[in-house]
Structure 1
Amino acid sequence: MSVRTQESALRIALVFPGQGAQHPRMAAGLYGHEAVFTAAMDEALELLGADGERIRSAWLARTTTADFDDVTVSQPLLYAVDHALGRMVLDWGVEPVALMGHSVGELVAATLAGVVGFADGIRLMRARIRQFAQTPAGGMLAVAAGLGEVEDLLTGQVHLAAVNARRQLLLAGEREPLDRAAQALRERGIVCRDARARQAFHSPVVDEAVEASMPDWLATPLNRPRRTVYSAYTQGVLTDDTALDHRFWARQAAETVHFAPTLDRLLADHDCLLVEAGPGNSLSTVARRHPAVVRGGSEVAPLLPDGAQDDVRDRRSVAAAKERILPLQQPVRA
């Protein structure tokens, strides 16, 4: 393997997962051991107010609670954990060349870029609990297929929620139509499984909740990004004008996530060490198959083990990732 010169060194890009990546005790092994992570989680739980203790209990439980995958737990908890992990990495002295997120992970990227204040982000998550919990019973379906293989199923009741890779999609809809779509896919020999979600995020099913969230968004100060954010909704670098558009942010919960083409753009622009700052390895698994990673131009380093509930493994995984990341923190010629 060749040794990279300073001029060709990888740059760090932080990527943040969203709905479906959550699991009990995600990153809990860092709590009380990593000072910045702990402080950020304590701040989040305090800002969650009356919801904080309930969410803390669900997070630290050894088994999945009945509502763990519901918006009332998963969304604020994912936002808090992703943000705390990102803060921890930044505290190591890392200055990423880019931030990128999937679903609620994009709001984390925006927060760390200074577009949205953290307290405002938590306030919006608390409002989301109220607004989205009453949407029709639904979910999301992970499908190992290309768009052409599922287009006939996108009939108005089932919707394209995310394009994660060339043959990795998420569909969303109310429960009965989504179950019918799953049956049709299995009859075709296409592998699919329910994603961990009780709401049909990234589909018109949540349109009313999105409109209900608009006053909260309009009351939120927005700023120009201080770090580069790649948006999976615009499929490129987030511009100042878009960052300052309240409706753009409010609509994300109902819009398709174009993760794959956005990752294409990021890795065309930069040779990166992609650091997945969130639970699980879902985005790392996708990124490892990307041609830029396969040919060795870019690399992947998840912070956490995949789905583990082992505190020691959490800490060992972060230590290993840190060993890969810190040597790259040297001046790189523009």
Structure 2
Amino acid sequence: GEHPPFDRVDVVQPALFAMGVALSALWRSLGVVPGAVVGHSQGEVVAAVVSGALTLEQGAQIVAQRSKAVLACAGLGGMALIERPVALVEEFLAPYGDALSVAAVNTAGSTVISGRAEAVERIVAELQARDVYARKINVDYASHNAQMDPLLPELASGFEGLVPRRAGIPFYSTVTGEVSDGTGLDGAYWCRNL
């Protein structure tokens, strides 16, 4: 039969999820046990499974349903990495209005943006011309952006049966910026994460 392309979002994200969970299990088998966990976006789903807040099945469900939903937005958006602090990046974005927004703050000096594909192309070229390190991320959708909003109602209903447990390891949330005991990592949380 036909196999989907390996670089399609609904193939890549479940594969990365499986790799993250497997690596964690390998490290544990070698005696490396985490004192706390943190992850960004789909990596946060791995962290939730590793913490014990979600079962492996629950984590796989979230990743599979989210990546399948995101596939519907393929071709509409893009993302880029800009090696500058978020406050400065927000100034760069101001002229673009609703076309672009901050998607993630990686570090004090590294920010990810997302939005309309043509706006991402334009800002990357503009910043590169000004010797600001900026590069497009190899995706054709705008994660962590208002473009995801239409997907949320259907995802929320698909996540209704999700009942997280108390985490056995402290879970640092990149959504709230706080340590979570795991019990709040329900369907609404994963919609907010997206």
Pairs within 5 Å for 1:116-127: 116-127=54-65
Pairs within 5 Å for 1:84-123: 84-123=22-61
Return the offset for 1:151: 1.7
Distance 2:182 2:22 in 1: 25
- Contact kept? 1:158, 1:172, Cα under 8 Å: yes
Query: Secondary structure in 2 aligned to 1:156?
Result: helix
- From 241, 247, 269, the equivalent of 2:188 is 247
- Contact kept? 2:53, 2:182, Cα under 8 Å: no
Give the residue type in structure 2 aligned to 1:162: A
Pairs within 5 Å for 1:1-334: 54=3, 68=7, 70-135=8-73, 137-152=76-91, 153-154=93-94, 155-243=97-185, 245-253=186-194
Give the residue type in structure 2 aligned to 1:212: E
Return the offset for 1:114: 1.6
Distance 2:22 2:183 in 1: 27
Return the offset for 1:123: 2.3
Change (3 A) 1:148 1:126: closer
- Length, aligned pairs only: 190
Gaps of 5+ in 2: none
Return the offset for 1:242: 2.7
List structure 1 segments (4+ residues) > 3 angstroms apart after TM superposition: none
TM-score w.r.t. the length of structure 2 is: 0.88
- Contact kept? 1:99, 1:230, Cα under 8 Å: yes
Distance 1:228 1:148 in 2: 29
Give the residue type in structure 1 aligned to 2:90: E
Q: CA RMSD in A?
A: 2.1
TM-score w.r.t. the length of structure 1 is: 0.53
Identity, % of aligned pairs? Answer: 27
Larger radius of gyration between Structure 1 and Structure 2: 1
